[in-house]
Structure 1
Amino acid sequence: MPYRLLYNLLIHLFGPLLLGLLYWPRRGKPGFGTRWPEHLGLVAPSPPACAPLWLHAVSVGEVVAATPLLKALKAAHPELPIVVSTTTRTGAEQVARLGDLVEHRYAPLDFPWAVGLFLRRIRPRALLIMETELWPNLLHACGQRRLPVLVLNARLSARSAARYRRFHGIFRLLSANISHIACQHRDDAEHFSALGVPRERLSITGSVKFDIEYGENIIEQGRQLRAQLGTQRPVWIAASTHEGEDEQLLAAHRQLLQQHPDALLILVPRHPQRFEQVAELVARQDFSLGRRTEGSPGPQNQVYLGDTMGELPIMLAAADIAFVGGSLIERGGHNLLEPAALGKPVLSGPSTFNFGDIARQLLATGGAHQVRDADELTEELRRLLASPALAGAMGQRAQAVVAANRGALANTLRRIETQLDL
């Protein structure tokens, strides 16, 4: 049985379950409101004479990575209309921060009829996919319409490549309808090539995440927040944390308080639907809790919950040391470059496969250190707090790694212009 036919049978068979998981209300999970039909292709159509560029970024992280590229595209081609799609509500909220620079639609679920309806209504001139969000029916429909598809900032870990090798026919089906893959690193290009993608359809542009730059407004808001938190107390941040990780971070903070009783932990869960759950966890463990949504913390607060969206850079700027979550559990970690770009010493757990090359560079230069558990995290925090000069040098090395790798944004923009003849 052809792979695509089997795939379509399965997604229609399990479709009700998938829709239930997507729309079932959960505490703290933002709903889709009246816009849920967009997932079925029922989006507002493009104006008759408009053929927008369509960029898909599944959620917040991909939208953040795409933002400098979107701004560069509009600066170079102000007349070019751009539609950005996301799958998640939090991704949509991040796109809304771009104002009228782009339009937002929810991406269609990968039912062939939903994809077809979306394409007929939007009528895009090309599809840009951030990272490696590949869906069989979407790519097939684009191929049938001779719609150029570019995968940007693409990565393919050894683990993912091994999975695709086991289902090589499916990957061949996907890649046949991709015009070009702009890879983050040479390893990624080698993995795609080993799976049969022709070399002429591969390029190495670097990671646009290295082109992260924070404006003076972020730095200033960070200074203002630090003044509210207290300039004379040690402040460390645990960013983008997950369930099963918060407990370890609070254990490390409890140990740190024995030596630094005025220390403050800024705790920022990765997913907003966990804000209340984490607040309850902090309270159960008898920490004095302040919340971003409730104003400035008092000097008695030991934990400050970052329970807002889009303010992580401000909180990173306010901290002395940054721990990046998703790494003390097997989640592969999150973006180590966000604190590095701000010149903060970076700590993470051992699971960093989502950002393997970035982690290797930061570790090799001494801009980041890895810890295995709460005890090691406490020791590293104590070591850095005992020597501001050591922490400062570590932050400078982290920032230097970011600076040395900048340029991917310009490379990616040139690749888009060449492939689409802009």
Structure 2
Amino acid sequence: MARWLYTLAWYLAMPLVLAHLLWRSRRQPEYLRHLGERFGANAQRTDMQPLVWLHAVSVGETRAAQPLVAALLERYPGCEVLVTHMTPTGREAGASLFAGQPVRQAYLPYDYPFAVRRFLRAWRPTIGVVIETELWPNLVAVARSEGVPMALVNARLSDRSLRKARRWRALIQPALASLDLVLAQTDSDARRLAQLGRHAVPVLGNLKFDVVAEPALEARGHRWRSAWLAKSPSTGLPRFCVLAASTREGEEAALLDAWAAALQPPALASRFPPLLVVVPRHPQRFDEVAALIEARGFRMARRSRLSDNQGLDTQVLLGDSMGEMAAWYGLADVAIIGGSLLPHGGQNLIEACAAGVPVIVGPHTFNFAEAAEQAIVAEAAVRVADAPRAVEQALAIVLDGERRQSMSDCALAFAGRHRGATGRTLQALTPYIDRRAVGG
């Protein structure tokens, strides 16, 4: 009955679904592209090659899928991989990450039974693998009826998400029970999944520790350091860089105000000419954040208008580009992790640690709760209460070379200790794939 009512609500909400797409397309026209895929249409598969389907809702999940895709293609060279998304930014990230590989991309259809069935019959996947969090009741039910095994891997469930899921237990619990395989990131995630009725969930670690930065992006970051930090054109002094990574609305204004206050008196800025790099999480906010920077009187440059080797005499650099986070970490001396200063749960701090960048997080890290605590214990990261303290800590770290190097070493060691989830995940998936006669 619960799923019947849920499905009815989807049909009744169809005008709102279409209106939502139109509204989002005002700032991101990509939301109206491939519209048929949102309803299970436009699949173009004509061959009978085995196909492993992974669902990665947005950018973070797509990056997490990267090492698993590589491992699948190595283990099963005769198969194709389909990666589905829900957001244009996720799709764009996938297009960059999987370029030149036998990987197809599409949007996952909305959770209408007819759309999901059309999607599954068109693509005929050997197995469906959902990365991290997305659990759609009709998708799971229709996949079972169509004979498609479904797995939830790299699963995470915060306390906040558990509270929400409990309100929808009548929908979530049967969907969880119907999955063929569930693999959790941490013991805490497994315990929370057990509270929703899925017991004895294996804990295999976090795929994000296995993500390897593209060498070309790392090299770009090093070129930026040489061009932008070696010497300030105005003072002739070397510079340091504080990166505000994947910031969310409300955080940029607070950080910019704190940055202005911290650089008083002007003697500090003249002695240690700092560079603040702000990289917003969502590209549709680039112009909005540029206006915030200009309104505070900072000398500003935009990444989209700079060459890699161009000199830089600016106080704040806006990272208005996509797919360059690894390069930004190659530039940075310390990183403030966005989404953690306000209650958004925090963005991915693992990528910064893997690059050897000291990390500062705010009070809100429920999306990466265990990783954040482990990084703090490992002395790879520090936690602060708000934006002013984040800036204060960032300046303290960059001005203390010994501490900065120690945190960098600890970050690299922390990231290295937690690698290996990809191999364990592939091993768990292999019986389901082999059972349906894929590859070697």
Partner SS, residue 266 of structure 1: strand
What is the alpha-carbon distance in structure 2 between the residues aligned to residue 27 and residue 366 of structure 1?
Answer: 44
What is the alpha-carbon distance in structure 1 between the residues aligned to residue 84 and residue 56 of structure 2?
Answer: 6
State the match for 1:393 in structure 2. 406
State the match for 1:233 in structure 2. 239
State the match for 1:99 in structure 2. 99
State the match for 1:418 in structure 2. 431
- The Cα of 1:30 is off from its aligned counterpart by 4.2
Task: State which of 289, 296, 303 in structure 2 corresponds to 1:292.
Answer: 303
Do structure 1's residue 322 and structure 2's residue 328 form an aligned pair? Answer: no
Partner SS, residue 46 of structure 2: coil
2:49 touches 2:78 (CA, 8 Å); kept in 1?
Answer: no
Q: TM-score, structure 2 length as denominator?
A: 0.91
State the match for 1:74 in structure 2. 73
- The Cα of 1:12 is off from its aligned counterpart by 1.4
Q: State the AA in 2 paired with 1:326.
A: G
Partner SS, residue 236 of structure 1: strand
Number of paired residues?
Answer: 419
- The Cα of 1:177 is off from its aligned counterpart by 2.1
Deviation digits for residues 342-392 of structure 1 (CA, Å, limit 9, x no counterpart): 111101111000000000001112110111123212321221122111111
- The Cα of 1:161 is off from its aligned counterpart by 2.2
Task: State which of 250, 253, 256 in structure 1 corresponds to 2:256.
Answer: 250
Alignment of structure 1 residues 133-282 onto 2, 5 Å: 133-199=134-200, 202-231=201-230, 232-258=238-264, 259-261=268-270, 262-282=273-293
State the match for 1:376 in structure 2. 389
Q: State the AA in 1 paired with 2:431.
A: T
- The Cα of 1:274 is off from its aligned counterpart by 0.4
Q: State the AA in 1 paired with 2:317.
A: Y
- The Cα of 1:260 is off from its aligned counterpart by 2.6
State the match for 1:41 in structure 2. 40
1:3 touches 1:170 (CA, 8 Å); kept in 2?
Answer: yes
Q: State the AA in 2 paired with 1:260.
A: A
What is the alpha-carbon distance in structure 1 between the residues aligned to residue 296 and residue 311 of structure 2?
Answer: 18
2:43 touches 2:119 (CA, 8 Å); kept in 1?
Answer: no
Partner SS, residue 129 of structure 1: strand
Q: State the AA in 2 paired with 1:148.
A: P
Range with bigger deviation, 15-24 or 270-279:
15-24
State the match for 2:21 in structure 1. 22
Q: Structure 1 pair 227/30, CA: closer, same or farther in 2 (3 Å)?
A: farther
Partner SS, residue 309 of structure 1: coil
Deviation digits for residues 302-321 of structure 1 (CA, Å, limit 9, x no counterpart): 11111111001101111111
- The Cα of 1:211 is off from its aligned counterpart by 1.2
- The Cα of 1:66 is off from its aligned counterpart by 0.4
What is the alpha-carbon distance in structure 1 between the residues aligned to residue 250 and residue 203 of structure 2?
Answer: 36
State the match for 2:233 in structure 1. none
Q: State the identity %.
A: 37
What is the alpha-carbon distance in structure 2 between the residues aligned to residue 375 and residue 5 of structure 1?
Answer: 50
What is the alpha-carbon distance in structure 2 between the residues aligned to residue 153 and residue 382 of structure 1?
Answer: 35
Q: TM-score, structure 1 length as denominator?
A: 0.95
What is the alpha-carbon distance in structure 2 between the residues aligned to residue 405 and residue 171 of structure 1?
Answer: 30
2:241 touches 2:276 (CA, 8 Å); kept in 1?
Answer: yes
What is the alpha-carbon distance in structure 1 between the residues aligned to residue 36 and residue 123 of structure 2?
Answer: 15
Partner SS, residue 221 of structure 1: helix
What is the alpha-carbon distance in structure 1 between the residues aligned to residue 18 and residue 151 of structure 2?
Answer: 28
What is the alpha-carbon distance in structure 2 between the residues aligned to residue 410 and residue 207 of structure 1?
Answer: 11
Q: State the AA in 2 paired with 1:408.
A: A
What is the alpha-carbon distance in structure 2 between the residues aligned to residue 167 and residue 21 of structure 1?
Answer: 23
What is the alpha-carbon distance in structure 2 between the residues aligned to residue 140 and residue 314 of structure 1?
Answer: 42
1:30 touches 1:273 (CA, 8 Å); kept in 2?
Answer: no
Q: State the AA in 1 paired with 2:99.
A: G
- The Cα of 1:249 is off from its aligned counterpart by 1.0
1:140 touches 1:174 (CA, 8 Å); kept in 2?
Answer: yes
Partner SS, residue 259 of structure 2: helix
Q: State the AA in 1 paired with 2:313.
A: Q
- The Cα of 1:46 is off from its aligned counterpart by 1.8
What is the alpha-carbon distance in structure 2 between the residues aligned to residue 181 and residue 81 of structure 1?
Answer: 23
Do structure 1's residue 56 and structure 2's residue 55 form an aligned pair? Answer: yes
State the match for 2:235 in structure 1. none
Partner SS, residue 41 of structure 2: coil
- The Cα of 1:198 is off from its aligned counterpart by 4.1
Deviation digits for residues 275-314 of structure 1 (CA, Å, limit 9, x no counterpart): 1111111111111110111014754311111111100110
Q: State the AA in 2 paired with 1:128.
A: V
2:21 touches 2:31 (CA, 8 Å); kept in 1?
Answer: no
2:66 touches 2:211 (CA, 8 Å); kept in 1?
Answer: no
Range with bigger deviation, 233-242 or 412-421:
412-421
Structure 2: tracts of 5 or more residues without a match: 231-237
Partner SS, residue 57 of structure 2: coil
Q: What's the C-alpha RMSD, in Å, of the aligned pairs?
A: 1.6
- The Cα of 1:214 is off from its aligned counterpart by 2.5
1:322 touches 1:339 (CA, 8 Å); kept in 2?
Answer: yes
